[in-house]
Every structure is written in structure tokens, then in C-alpha cells.
Structure 1
Amino acid sequence: MAQPQQSDGTQSPTSPAGSPGRDRPPLRVGMVGYAFMGAAHSQGWRTAGRVFDLPRRPELAVICGRDGAAVRAAADRHGWAAAVTDWREMVERDDVDLVDICTPGDSHAEIALAALAAGKHVLCEKPLANTVAEAEAMVRAAREAEARGQVAMVGFNYRRVPATTLARRMVAEGRLGTLRHVRVTYLQDWLVDPAFPLTWRLRKEQAGSGSLGDLGAHIVDLAQYLAGEHLAGVSALTETFVRERPLPAGAVTGLSAGTAAARTGTVTVDDAALFTGRFTSGALASFEATRYATGRKNALRIELNGERGSLSFDLERLNELWYHDGTEPGEHAGFRRILVTEPEHPYLDAWWPPGHGLGYEHTFVHQARDLVHAVAEGHSPEPSFADGLQVQRVLAAVEESAEKNSVYTPVAL
């Protein structure tokens, strides 16, 4: 939606008269979780109504976490009106319209089911759940809630990068023709040090899986979203490189920090996942997700090749999309950079003048924008819980395939 012009001719990031939609009915948000992802979601909710002309005004009503002092500090830091330590209390509050779930995967299903039963709209971080059965239950509840006017969305924020949204538009327009190949990598290195402690992300009972659920969920969803079709089958390998890690200080009741640090626990998730796949159209795909790519911090790359053209995106250059038009004459054909900062590009009519790039945090602003519209207009948001279930089924198929391919016998040279 176009924004009012300032005296210098640039776009204003606020709504008319400098008011962030004060005349609009509120959408009161309650959020469970306040760490990294909670901070990102807070930024999205806090900013969306100040940038976009929304049909309802997001209000940061209450934030929830188990540590009372920490959650109160998070409320002050991020602008939440209240802080509580019991999510069950929060989902029953009359001043909460939407519950935003930013917790480890083992609690997603329980919180989402309770929130939907309490009549709330729901946003749940990815992956939707830790198991297919949990995800199926969440989809059933979301469909029942939809009949009551509620909406439920899973948080795959990389769909909200303007460049990836533009890529989806170009694929849907037929710019690539019949799809042949999709290749995706998501590389991080924060587990390379074997002394890194055994956090919840390394425990299957809490995280569900390792790099597969943490990073693989993102790239499976992004590949299916951009391709406009689902994966029909996979063949996989996974590996855990460091199988024992130090317990974090305080993890063992009664032990001092020094003693606890000397104790170790077993890593029960994968460190890396490699798999190939085939889309329903027959297009081939390859995926790599790892937290052991030394030197790579958040390197997500995806390329799609079709009979008529190709698209390539790199998250580390997220204001750019590379496009090759295979129908052009060979003497001047090649990949060209599209700088995705024009007001005609997705989401960007509300932001800055062309050439002024956006960042990672803006994907959460766009996510909040889209969800507010879905709530106000009564339509099913994307990605839906059903989309999250589809990704969960792919992750489960990857784990099943990896188990079958797990036999490894080193060959002496």
C-alpha cells in the first residue's frame, strides 16, 4: 500500500498524520518465549503497524516465560505491556486475541492446541511440531477453529524476504518454464567447537531433530514454496559428528558450575543432513543442512533451473535476486542481478526509496503484516498449519531414509 510522501519526495514509514493506526481495532498479541526468536517476533509486531497501513493495530499485550525476572526484563526491553510465567494462564486471558509460540518444538503442539481451543488465533514458529502425529493434531484443530473464524499460521519467515517473494511470482508467471532442478544449502558453524554445551537444540526430546529441523525445515519449505509444488520422495544421509558435549552450568541439580561443566551428556540429534528429492512434477532437488560448515554463519542459498530460465538467491545478499532468461540470444545472455528495492517489488512500497536495502528483521515485520490481514479479512494465512505438516512429513521421510542408509564401513586406503 502506497505511503504518504514527505517534503523531500521520499516515502514515510508511518501511517497518515504520524499515527500508527490508532483508529483501527486492536489485535492483542500474547507471546510465549522471549529469547532469540521471541526478540525477532517482538520486533515484527512492534514495527508492522508503524510501517504498513493495517486493518487492525497490533498490541503487545503480554509475554510469557518460565523465568519471572528474565521475562519481565524482556517485556521492558521489547515493549510488552505485561509479563507472566504460565502460558496456560496467558491463553485464557481476555486481553489476548492471538497467541504467538516461540518456544522449543516439544511444546508447540500443547500450546497451539490449548490456544485454538480457547478461541485464539495462532502463530507457531517452525518446525510446526516435533512429530508428524503432533502436526496432524494441530492441523485438525486449526481446521475446526477456522470454522469459528480463527486463523493459524506457521512461521517460515524466509518466504517474507522481498526477493524470495518476487522469485515465487516469477516462477508462477512461467519465467522458468518447466522446472528441472532445485538445489538448496543452509550452512552454519556454531557447533564446530566440541566444547559448546549441550543445549536444548541438541536434545531430540526437546528439539525433535538437529540441523534437519532447525535448518532443513526452512529450506524444504522455501524450495516447495518457490517451486509451487511438493516433494514426492527423498533419499538421505545424516551424521552426528560430536556425540558427547559438556552439560551447561546448572544443568545438573546440586552441582557447582565448575563441576557441571566437567560433566557431559549425549547429543541425540543430527549435526548435518544431506538429501536428494524429487518433486511431484519430476524435477530433481538436492538439500544440505549443517551446523558444522566452518566459517559459514547463516548461509542459505537456493537455485532453481527450468527449461526457459533460472533464479538464484543468497540470504547473505538478501536484497538481490539473480535471474537468467534462457530465451535471450546467447551473445548477450547471462545471469543478471535484480536489486529488489523498488516500490513495485513485494512489501517494498511501504519502506525506503529504491536502493535502500532491508534486513533479516524485516521478514518478521512482513510476517506480522500478512497475519494481521488474514485475521482481519478472515482468510487462511500462508504458510498454514497444513503447509507446516507437509514439511514435517518431508523431515520424517528424511529421518526414515537416513536410518536405512546409516550403515557406514570405512574402507582402508
Structure 2
Amino acid sequence: MDVTEELARDAAARLGFEHYSNDWRALVNDPEIDIIVIVTTNNTHAEIAIAAAKAVKHIICEKPLALGAEQAKEMLEAVQAASVKHAVDVDDEFITMVKFDNGAIGTIEATRNAWGRNNFLTFEIHGEKGSLYFNYERLDELQVCFADDPSDAKGFRTVYTGPATPYGEGLWTIPALCMGYGETKIIETYDLFKAIVEDTSFHQTSRMTIKLN
């Protein structure tokens, strides 16, 4: 679907789709469609998501979820009333304070706009028994340090993704050659389909977004 009919038609021909449309309402109301992926302009997310929920469609919405907290709340109420699975892709730039159940606090920050940082989305977790560090530019690596490491071996070590890590059995079977941006979307889609089939919760929900905001 594209608001420009020519682009929608060309994409359908190029990617092998039987149908195309330049009207999102046609997709929402199509009984053959079960999932709506919203990647439209930000000011249309709420209208499309609420309409899709009323049509009992499962939903993935591109960030930002809504134009404000009240609008996001309306979207959440719509998907909850329809009992559909729903997810929102994370934002690219944000800062928020996080408080954990055990009382620990921290901040989450991310940006793609800093010069010299191509995709430097990182997080660090420092706890009583060790630390973790992750950098999105190095998707296959997790830096790990334990408090009880020998004094002559203090510091971070690198743990690589592979067949033994979550979802590893469904991706490349070679360690350190598993994860790219495409694979993260495959995992996201797999989790959504699994949640629909098994009627279980989907971990990336709009409730998470509202809570963080």
C-alpha cells in the first residue's frame, strides 16, 4: 500500500503481490488481511491503529506510537477492547528514567544524530555481581564482566551470538554471524505470529511504550 497509486502498483509488481491499494481503509477492511503494519506519517498512526483494532486486526506500529500520551492511551484501549496483538517499534532518539522493582534506577538514552556515531545505540547495566554493555553497531556482541572474576583477569569479555543463544537455531548457525537489522525484524515478526497462533502475550506492546514515556 502507498498513498501514491503508481508507487503501490510498481511495488506490487516488483515484489510479487497480487493486490495493491492507495487507501489504508481498504486494507483495514479486507477480510483476507489479519495483520496491519503501520509505517505511515506520524499524524496518521492513531487513526489507522484504532480503525484496525475495531476491524480485529493485529497491529505493528512504527515509532513514534502517537502524537501524545492521551492519543497513545486511546490506541491502547482500542487494541485491548478488541483483544488483538499489538506492537510498536522502538524510537530512535529518547531519554527516560527507569526505576526497577528492586529500587535500582538508571537512564536510557539513544541517538542517531550525533556526529561520528552511525548507529551508536548502546546500553550498560551495572549491578552488584557484574556489568553488561551492548552496542547496536556490533549486534553480535555482548560485553560481560563479573565481580568475582580473578584479580588478574578483571575487565569485559566478549560473548557472541550463535546457535545456543535465543532464536539462534533459526538464524545463521555460525557464532558471531547471526544478527543484522533484517534478522531483528524476522524475530519480531516470528514472535508476533507465534503470539497470534498460541494466543499468548507479545513482548513488544504499546503498554510498554506508554509506561516508558
TM-score between the two structures when normalised by the length of structure 2? 0.90
Q: CA RMSD in A?
A: 1.9
Matches within 5 A, 1:2-401: 64-146=1-83, 150-156=84-90, 214-216=92-94, 277-280=97-100, 281-341=102-162, 343-355=163-175, 356-391=177-212, 394=213
The letter of the residue matching 1:319 is D
1:81 and 1:389, CA in 2 relative to 1: closer, same or farther beyond 3 A? farther
- Of structures 1 and 2, the one scoring higher in RCO (CA 8 A, sep 6+) is 1
The letter of the residue matching 1:377 is E
Q: Give 3-state SS (helix, strand or coil) of 1:375's partner.
A: helix
CA distance in 2, matches of 1:278, 1:141: 26
The letter of the residue matching 2:53 is L
The letter of the residue matching 1:69 is E
1:338 Cα deviation (Å)?
0.3
The letter of the residue matching 2:197 is A
Q: Give 3-state SS (helix, strand or coil) of 1:85's partner.
A: coil
1:124 Cα deviation (Å)?
1.3
For the pair shown, the structure with the greater C-alpha radius of gyration is 1
1:302 and 1:371, CA in 2 relative to 1: closer, same or farther beyond 3 A? same
Q: Give 3-state SS (helix, strand or coil) of 1:346's partner.
A: coil
The letter of the residue matching 1:347 is Y
1:140 and 1:276, CA in 2 relative to 1: closer, same or farther beyond 3 A? closer
Q: Which runs of 5+ in 1 are unaligned?
A: 1-63, 157-212, 217-274, 395-413
1:312 and 1:154, CA in 2 relative to 1: closer, same or farther beyond 3 A? same
CA distance in 1, matches of 2:113, 2:172: 36
1:291 and 1:377, CA in 2 relative to 1: closer, same or farther beyond 3 A? closer
> Is the 8 Å Cα contact of residues 142 and 385 (structure 1) preserved in structure 2?
no
1:145 Cα deviation (Å)?
1.0
CA distance in 2, matches of 1:124, 1:276: 21
Q: Give 3-state SS (helix, strand or coil) of 1:361's partner.
A: helix
Q: Which runs of 5+ in 2 are unaligned?
A: none
CA distance in 1, matches of 2:168, 2:155: 26
Provide, for residues 329-354 of structure 1, a one-character-per-residue CA deviation record: whole Å limited to 9, x for no partner: 2222321100112x120111012222
TM-score between the two structures when normalised by the length of structure 1? 0.48
